[in-house]
Amino acid sequence: MAFDAEAIREQFPILKRQVNGKPLVYLDSAASAQKPRAVIEAMTHAMEHSYSNVHRGLHTLANETTEAFEGARRKVAAFIGAEPNEVVFTKGGTEAINLVAAGLGASLGEGDEILLSEMEHHANIVPWHFLRERRGVVLKFTPVTDDGQLDLEAFQSLLGPRTRVVALSHMSNVLGTINPVMDLTRMAHEAGALVLLDGCQAIAHKPVDVKALDVDFYVFSGHKLYGPTGIGALYGKGERLAALPPYQGGGEMIGAVSLETITYADPPHRFEAGTPPILEAIGFGAAIDWLSGLDRIAIARHEHELYQHVRERLAGANWLRVLGEAPDKGAILSFTVDGAHAHDVAQILDRYGVAVRAGTHCAEPLMKRFGVTSSARASFALYNTHDEADAFVDALTKTQAFFA
């Protein structure tokens, strides 16, 4: 049975609006996905009917909200094949990486090595750079091939006896490249290194089983999974989380506090200081419930078909450069138009109601690798249609005419 994107679209109120007198064609889901009515209603219901702070009260509203909050944790855990005590709520993928980097950094010293790649988002570079500045660790970067793949031979050669951490994107937010993370994790573990995967893009497009991947840490955000902003998750193997020191101090993350001593809670609460993003967690859980009710294989096929349709229609466009041509890549099209700045391309496309991203996509080293200062990016999601794919190509062709 064909995937019914039109039926899905009915669940997204924002997709009915117009932009500049044109129907909205939203192709910026890699930055942040739109929200289905199920998420909107879950968060509204919590605010209207059963809201309080969590874990600390004994009254009815506190108990109901705590159950909803911890229920969301159980949903996240089940979604990735983990146990609830292995899931830490964070404000997003960025905070999750910072948490791990800060925790591991406490035991790293001068000369210890962290292996990254040229395709990483800034969120998976800067926290490790802090350790280079403050602890003297060495950062090494796996190069990217001309078609946008990770250079596996170079990766293997960069692993060494001082490699302590390997931190990589599961799927590139610019190139759409889906890295062979099971092989990369195996090689890293054989070298004695811990592995963190940035799954913010991948988990929106494919099922993820952290146990099968055997990663030590996996991070992702809620807003790319059709949930709210301000919420994300860190998965960590039980023993890995237990070995990390607290990231922030405050309420909830403690065992006991006196004027002389402090003891800390067990994971995951050890890493959740202060009042957490309660409503956002409830919305996150609702997004996972909603997404879990769909055929994710059919979704992936639909998104790939949209991408392939656009590529076929643009096959003869000698004014277009596409960044990233890796086999079996995700449905992300990053591109440049001859003679045009990406910002101008995005603004003109907006006149036709087409929303794309433009800039460096928080991946300046990757832009430098491909010899560009910026690019435009169209990213496809389950609610996009073939008509929208055509509308994008038609608008892009008209946009190019401005610069011809």
Residues 319-361: tens digit of each pLDDT:
999 999 999 999 999 999 999 999 999 999 999 999 999 999 9
Rounded mean pLDDT of the chain?
A: 97
**CATH topology agreement for domains 5-31+295-401 and 41-292:** no
Please give the structure tokens belonging to residue 26. 């939203």
Angstrom distances, CA of residue 85 to CA of 46, 52, 191, 271, 314: 24, 22, 28, 11, 48
Angstrom distances, CA of residue 203 to CA of 12, 50, 185: 20, 30, 17
Q: Can 362 be counted among the known catalytic residues?
A: yes
Element at 303 (helix H, strand E): helix 296-313
* Among the listed residues 46, 358, 39, the one whose alpha carbon sits nearest the alpha carbon of residue 224: 39
Average pLDDT, stretch 171-199?
98
pLDDT of residue 56: 82
Average pLDDT, stretch 268-273?
98
d(CA 91, CA 230): 5
Which listed residue (38, 126, 154, 362) is catalytic?
362
d(CA 111, CA 136): 6
* Among the listed residues 30, 371, 374, the one whose alpha carbon sits nearest the alpha carbon of residue 177: 30
pLDDT of residue 206: 95
Average pLDDT, stretch 387-404?
96
Average pLDDT, stretch 281-293?
98
Task: Tell me the sheet residues that pair with 355.
Answer: 26
What are the residues whose beta carbons fall under 8 Å from the beta carbon of 69, sequence distance 6 or more? 54, 276, 278, 281, 282
Angstrom distances, CA of residue 111 to CA of 23, 105, 139, 351: 55, 12, 9, 52
Encode pLDDT of 46-72 as tens digits: 999 999 999 988 899 999 999 999 999
**Beta strand 357-359 with 375-379: parallel, antiparallel or unpaired?**
antiparallel
d(CA 354, CA 64): 42
pLDDT of residue 1: 58
Average pLDDT, stretch 167-173?
98
d(CA 290, CA 53): 25
Element at 117 (helix H, strand E): strand 113-117
User: Domain 5-31+295-401 is classified in which CATH homologous superfamily?
Assistant: Aspartate Aminotransferase, domain 1 (3.90.1150.10)
d(CA 56, CA 250): 13
d(CA 47, CA 37): 15
- CB atoms < 10 A from the CB of 311, how many? 13
pLDDT of residue 3: 85
Q: How many helices (H) and strands (E) does the chain have?
A: 14, 17
- Given pLDDT bands bounded at 50, 70 and 90, which one contains residue 25? very high
d(CA 224, CA 202): 10
d(CA 124, CA 220): 12
What are the residues whose beta carbons fall under 8 Å from the beta carbon of 10, sequence distance 6 or more? none
Average pLDDT, stretch 18-26?
97
Could you name the CATH architecture of 41-292? 3-Layer(aba) Sandwich (3.40)
pLDDT of residue 2: 72
366 and 118 in contact (C-beta within 8 Å)?
yes
In the chain, what are the domain boundaries?
Answer: 5-31+295-401, 41-292
- Given pLDDT bands bounded at 50, 70 and 90, which one contains residue 182? very high
Please give the structure tokens belonging to residue 37. 């009515």
For the entire predicted model, the pTM comes to: 0.97
Average pLDDT, stretch 220-235?
98
d(CA 374, CA 366): 10
Encode pLDDT of 98-142 as tens digits: 999 999 999 999 999 999 999 999 999 999 999 999 999 999 999
Residue 152, pLDDT above cutoff 70: yes
- CB atoms < 10 A from the CB of 6, how many? 10
d(CA 246, CA 256): 14
Average pLDDT, stretch 214-227?
98
Q: Indicate if the alpha-carbon torsion angle 107, 112, 115, 116 is positive or negative.
A: positive
pLDDT of residue 196: 99
